Structure formats: C-alpha cells, structure tokens
Chain A
Amino acid sequence: MNALLTGGAAPKPKHGSLVEALAAAARVELAEAGLGYIHLNEHETWTTFAELHDRAAHVARALLARGVRPNDRVALIAPTSPAFVEAFFGALLAGAVAVPLYPPVRLGRLDEYHRSTARMLTSVGARIVLADSRVKRLLGRSIAAARPGLGCVVLEDLLREPARSLSLPRVAEEDLAIIQFSSGSTVDPKPVALSHHNVLSQCAALEQLFPTHGPDGRRLRGRTGVSWLPLYHDMGLIGSLLSAVYVPGRLSLISPEHFLAKPALWLRAISRHRALVSPAPNFAYAYCEKRIRDEQLAGVDLSCWELALNGAEPVVPAVMDRFVARFSPFGFAPRAMTPVYGLAEASLAVTFPRRGARTASLDSARPIVSVGEPLPGVSIKVCDARGAIVGARTLGRIHVRGPSVMTGYFGRPEDTARAVVDGWLDTGDLGFVDDGELFVCGREKDVIVVRGENHAPHTFEEALDELNGVRPGCAVAIGCVLPGGDGESLVMLVERAKDAPADLEDAVRAAVVERTGVRPELVRILAPGTLPRTSSGKLRRREAAMRFSAGKLDAPRAVTPLRLAVEVVRSTVAFATARLGDDEGR
C-alpha cells in the first residue's frame, strides 16, 4: 500500500458563484438562516441574509459608481462587524475580488503593520481600500505607500450614499472571488487567489461532512454555528461565514478580540444557540482550559457541540485531552474534538476525520494525531525528495489535488509553477499515511505558527538587527512544541557579540515583542559560531531547529593549537574532495 489517498467524488457545488449562494440564502427565513453579532455584554444583533443581500448590493453599486470594475481587487480592513460582511459581499456583487486584510492590533505599534499592509496592498494591486472609520484613520501611511487608484473609503460612508440604479455584472464560477494571504515560506506572505468555484467546492465538501443526525439518531434541525475566528483568515471566512451562507444556516459571530478578553463568551454562545459546529485552532482550546472559570459557565451545556474542529496549527494531543477533561462536566462530548488539516492554498480544509480521533507515531517518536481522510474530491499523496510516492508509514512531503486548490498566487506565475505541478499542490508540510489516514508531522517550509497565525521566521530575526550585544545577522527564529507546551511556540536562538550585556536575554525578548507582538517562549543565548551555517555563511535554520530539538546545539569547541591543526587538515581534505572554493563561512 502506498501513500496515495483519495476522498471520492467531488460534490457539485449548489451554486455557480458566491453571489448566487447569497441570493439563494436571502430567500430563507431567519429561523433557519442568518447572521448574529454577539457583543461583549452578550447582547446579540441578528440580520437575515435578505438584509445582508440588500445592503451588499447597495455597496456594490456604490463601488461601481466610484469606478470599481470586474476583477478589480477591493481590500477590506475592518473588525468583525456587519459592515465588514456587507462590504465583502458588496465587492463580490460588483464582480470584484475581495481581499480581507488584518486590522491593526490594539495598543500595538504601527511601524511593522504599515510595512506589511502596504506590501500586501501593492502585491494584489488593490484598486480601493474599504475600512471602518476607526481603522481608516490609522491607515494613512499604508495607503500613501501603496496608492490604491480609488483611495481609501470608509465603509459606513458607502452605505450612507444614495441608492444607485446601476445593474450588477454577471459573475462566473471561474472568476476570482477572494485573495487570502499565506505565509507559507520565508519570503513575503503570498497572495493566494481563489475562484468562486474553488471556494464553493470547499463549502460543498464541508457540507457533506457536517452531521445531519445526532448521536440519538434524531435528525438535527437546521445548521447552527458559532465563530470568533478572524474574518481575514480562511477558517473564519470560508469555514464559518461562507459555509453559513452556502448551507444556509445560522451563524453567530464574536469578534476575535472579545474572545481573547472573555473566552467564556465562546462556550456560552455555543450552549445558548445549541450550536452544532464551531472551529478553533489548538491554542484556543488551551486558552479556554486555562482562562475560563466554573462560575462563568453556570447553566452551560455543550452537549450540542458535535464538531469542535481543531485546525490551523499543529494539534497537541495533551491539549485536546485537557480540554475534554475540563469541559466534559459541562456536556462536552469527547468525540466532538475533531482535528483537521488544511492550508490557505487549498482554500481551507484538505482532510477531515470520519472515524474519530486517533494517534500514531513513526518509530518511537512522539504520538501524532490523525487529521483524517481527504475531503470529498480531494486526493493526497506523500512523496520523497524525487517526487515518487512513498509507502505507508513513511515520512514524506504532502501534496494535494482537488477542486478547491488555488487558481495560483496572484500575479506570481513562477511561484505558482513551483507550488502547483500537474494540479498537485506541494504543501511544504511533512507527514505520513497510516491505515488510510493522514498524519502531519511538521514542515519543510520555514514558517512559525503561533496561536493559529503563520509567521515568516525572518520577521522575528530582523527585530534583532540593531540590538546591542547580538552578533549581526546571527539569530534564528524557530517554532517548536516545547516539552509540556500547549502548542507551537517561538524560540529565538541568538549568538552573542563580544560586548554582550548581561541582560541580553531580556533585551532580545523585549525587542521581538515590540516589533512583532509575539513573545518568544524561550531565548537561548549562544556562543559565537554555534549556529550551523552553509558553506557561504548563510544560517541553516532547519538544521538549527533539528539540533535544538535534539539538544545538540553546542558551542564550537575552544580553539587550541592542536584543534586548529586538525581543522586545517580536515578542511584541506574537504577542499580536495569537494573541489569547492566558495567557503566564505564566518
């Protein structure tokens, strides 16, 4: 048996575009389908999809009147709110491509935010930026740098403009719908372009997997979900919002920052609405287990929660177990915990467990949680370095094919050609297949996942560029699950300079938090020359990560005359054998 898995026939999407999906949802009563927005005080405002459709059409006509044309990129920067959702569908109804970007972190520093936002706006060639009034005032520098043709417009102003009688364009399934950013490598986040067909195929496959009957065999009424996930992220946008429109079902939205401040809001909303589905990354399950107190859960009953999807970052078995133990007294069913695997380039999900969670391990390595079988319509193969499919229980690189695999990286044909070959997307993730299920072990691509968000390592390393006491260019950021840790955390491996101050570790931590908003869990100060390098002196991040994990990150041995002589002989031999003259290592 080899490591090729197929998920069966792809279900045909019910609609030809997300625009049609919204029009269909608009014909359904609020008792069955609609969106609720939960405030910090748990007050909730509901809207029907018909109301959403009307307001989105208003936005679409206002955009057309301003000069937005089909296939133009419309960037959206706003917190979770009715205005965001109306603008998102407004862009689609205008035939444009919606590009949701993250709003600035509150009380955060803005330098890095402006740099990355301007870069993303430029890379998609945004024609216009839609923001809420609060965010717009902050965006000045990003807008000035990216210069979108039609500027930056406040969402509420668009809605207040008089209604226009422009007709809306026809949207085809192959038209682009969304560009979402992926930090799948060391370079800039890449713009993942998804067509209406890509996104609807994902929604159709997910719909097939959602349960229709409860454990007692009773048919479940309606589809109800709760989500606090950011709407600029695939799991929040496609997995929650667009799925709710597609099904259509009822979805209650909580803003991510309100969840962080009061995580009990999430579980209370699931209980109140008898929600069937609610997804979150691993860190959120750990966060709830730590932060929620019993008195916040008076009367809460989580027995309705059939699918606690767990994705977007590596799943830590101990965290799942602790969550189950902590919340089963409140009705949480252990079988509800559902680890899934996916990536932005595949729209969202790639696999889904159909037989309950189980773990396996290669050799005597740590146990890995199964992420299940491919979604309907999806094929997966695990390959060796030459691209040949490996056998079962053999580690290799995961490739994915299916209708929700991206159209490509927007405006980057070379990157696209590298990532997708003959329809197979190279995920850059490492894993193995056992008994028809996929197990994800790690990544070959350089990316650090902290709290469900992907970060390129160089953003952390650059934070130390001018820090006194650090050898210039001699810092490596890696992501790993530390012993007893709740998930992947950031580890900084830093070589000290000669004049390093005694409190260098604190200084490194402060510099990284200040620049990136992420706190390194561990800072290891190393003697000069400890980090592994290539022959041309470039740091080898993956090798450093492997040595760190194995506890073998050792300082170079002290240079004695004898050792020096041995090294000279060695390197002469190496030169002679390899005939390389490019050894400029520091």
Chain B
Amino acid sequence: MTRPTEADVLAEIQRIVRDELEIDSAITSEQRLASELDSLSRTVLAVSLEDRFRVRLTEEDAQLATLGDLARAIVARSGARSGES
C-alpha cells in the first residue's frame, strides 16, 4: 500500500463517521475528537482506521486533540511502517 495522504485519511474518517457511525453533521479537521465523538464512536473510529491503514494507534494518541491531528498521526505512522519494510 502506498503511503496515504492527510486528505486520504480525512476522507476515510468522514466516510466512517457518515457510514459506520451514522452521524449526519459534516466533520472537519478542526473538530475536537473528545467533544465530537462518544467512547463507542472513538473506539469504532480507532479500530476502523487501524484496519484500513495498517497502523497501530498508541498511547500517545490519547493526547490528539482534533481529527486533523489524528489524520497526521496516521500518515506519519504509515510512513514509518513502510520505511521499516
């Protein structure tokens, strides 16, 4: 898999929020994770993104404030992973 861009990850986040979590309101990169999504939604988002982009979200990710931060973390990590292999 080629390294995803931040836009790819954000698009996937938007898809998960719309299709899997069935939240209608538009999701933007500035939105705060903690106040937008309940614990169930956060769990679904974390597992789905790990599965889709083959990355592991780690303990530092609890500190991520916005959806944009989350997308950047995933891009960075998927780069690190393909660098290893």
- Chains A and B belong together in one complex: yes
Q: Is the Cβ of B42 less than 8 Å from the Cβ of A105?
A: yes
Contacts of A40 in B (CB 8 A): 47, 51
A335 interface residue per 8 A CB criterion: no
Residue B2 at the chain A interface, CB threshold 8 Å: no
Residue in A104, A138, A261, A290 whose CB lies within 8 Å of B47: A261
**A108-B34, A109-B34, A261-B48 given as contacts; is B62 within 8 A of A517 (CB)?**
no
* Bound Cα distance A109, B34 (Å): 7
The answer to whether B34 and A514 touch across the interface, beta carbons within 8 angstroms, is yes
Mark contacts of A560-580 with chain B using CB atoms, 8 A cut-off: 1 yes-contact digit, 0 otherwise: 000000000000000000000
A105 and B43 contacting across the interface, CB-CB below 8 Å: yes
Which positions 104-129 of chain A face chain B at CB distance < 8 Å?
Answer: 104-110
B26 within 8 A of A: no
Q: How many angstroms between the C-alpha atoms of A381 and B70 in the bound complex?
A: 53
Tell whether, in the assembled complex, residue B35 and residue A260 are in contact, meaning their CB atoms are under 8 Å apart: no
A134 on interface, CB distance cutoff 8 Å: yes
Determine whether B57 belongs to the interface, using a CB cutoff of 8 Å to chain A: yes
Residue of B nearest to A517 (CB): B39
Contacts A511-B35, A517-B38, A517-B39; is A257 near B47 (CB within 8 Å)? yes
**A481 touches B (CB below 8 Å):** no
Say whether A107 contacts B70, CB under 8 Å: yes
Shortest distance between the CB of A39 and any CB in chain B (Å): 10
On chain B, the residues within 8 Å of A106 by CB distance are 42-43, 46-47, 57, 61-62
Q: Which residues of A contact B24 (CB under 8 A)?
A: none
For the complex, what is the distance from the CA of A134 to the CA of B46, rounded to whole Å? 15
Q: Does A274 contact B (CB under 8 A)?
A: no
State whether the Cβ of B59 lies closer than 8 Å to any Cβ in chain A.
Answer: yes
Interchain CB contact under 8 A, B47 and A513: no
Residues B18-51 near A (CB distance < 8 A):
20, 22, 32-40, 42-48, 51
A107-B38 in contact (CB<8A): no
Q: Contact: A258 with B47, CB < 8 Å?
A: yes
CB proximity to B under 8 Å, residues A488-515: 510-511, 513-514
Is the pair B35, A107 in contact by a Cβ cutoff of 8 Å? no
Chain B proximity of A573: nearest CB distance (Å): 49
Complex CA gap A138/B58 in Å reads 9
Best-surrounded residue of A105, A106, A107, A110 (most CB of chain B within 10 A):
A107
CB distance from B58 to the nearest CB of A (A): 7
Tell me if B64 is interfacial: C-beta within 8 Å of chain A. yes
Please determine whether A513 and B44 come into contact, CB atoms closer than 8 angstroms: no
The count of residues in chain A whose C-beta lies closer than 8 Å to any C-beta of chain B is 26
A257 contacts B46, CB within 8 Å? yes
- Given the known A-B contacts A106-B57, A138-B59, A517-B42, are A260 and B37 also in contact in the complex, defined by CB atoms under 8 Å? no
Closest to A139 in B: B59
Residues of B within 8 A of A107 (CB): 33, 37, 42-43, 45-46, 57, 61-62, 64, 70
- CB of B73 to closest CB in A, whole Å: 10
Give, as a whole number of angstroms, the nearest-CB distance from A265 to chain B: 11
Query: What's the Cα separation between A518 and B20 when bound, in Å?
Result: 18
B62 & A110 in contact (Cβ 8 Å cutoff): yes
Interface residue? A358 (CB, 8 A): no
CB <8 Å contact, A108 and B42:
yes
Distance between Cα atoms of A513 and B62 in the complex (Å):
15
Chain B residues closer than 8 Å to A105, beta-carbon distance:
39, 42-43
Q: A241–B44 Cα gap in the complex (Å)?
A: 24
Q: Which residues of B contact A517 (CB under 8 A)?
A: 38-39, 42
Note all chain B residues with C-beta closer than 8 A to A104: 62
Interface residues of A in 239-267 (CB under 8 A from B): 257-258, 260-262
Shortest distance in angstroms between A486's beta carbon and chain B's nearest beta carbon? 13
In the bound complex, residues from chain A placing their C-beta under 8 Å from that of B42 are 105-108, 517
| Alpha-carbon distance A517/B62, docked complex (angstroms) | 13
Please tell me which one of the listed residues A109, A110, A257, A513 contacts residue B43 in the complex, with CB atoms under 8 A apart: A257
Contacts of B61 in A (CB 8 A): 106-107
Bitwise, A166-204 to B at CB < 8 A (1) or not (0) is 000000000000000000000000000000000000000
Contact between B43 and A261, CB atoms less than 8 A apart: yes
B59 adjacent to A260 (CB under 8 Å): no
Beta-carbon contact of A519 and B62 below 8 Å: no
Neighbour of B40 across the interface among A260, A290, A511, A514, CB < 8 A: A260
Report Cα–Cα, A261/B62, bound state, in Å.
18
Considering the chains assembled together, what is the distance between the CA atoms of A110 and B63 in angstroms?
8
User: Are B44 and A261 in touch, CB under 8 angstroms?
Assistant: yes
Q: A107-B33, A107-B57, A107-B70 are in contact. Are A518 and B62 (CB under 8 A)?
A: no
In the complex the two chains form, is A513's CB within 8 Å of B38's CB?
A: yes
Is A137 interfacial (CB 8 A cutoff)? yes
Closest 7 CB pairs of A and B: A517-B39, A261-B47, A510-B35, A106-B46, A519-B38, A107-B42, A514-B35
Residues of A within 8 A of B (CB): 40, 104-110, 134, 137-138, 257-258, 260-262, 290-291, 451, 510-511, 513-514, 517-519
A sample of 14 more A-B contacts (CB under 8 A), given A107-B62, A109-B34, A134-B59, is: A40-B51, A104-B62, A105-B43, A106-B57, A106-B62, A107-B37, A107-B43, A107-B46, A107-B61, A137-B59, A260-B43, A513-B34, A513-B37, A519-B38
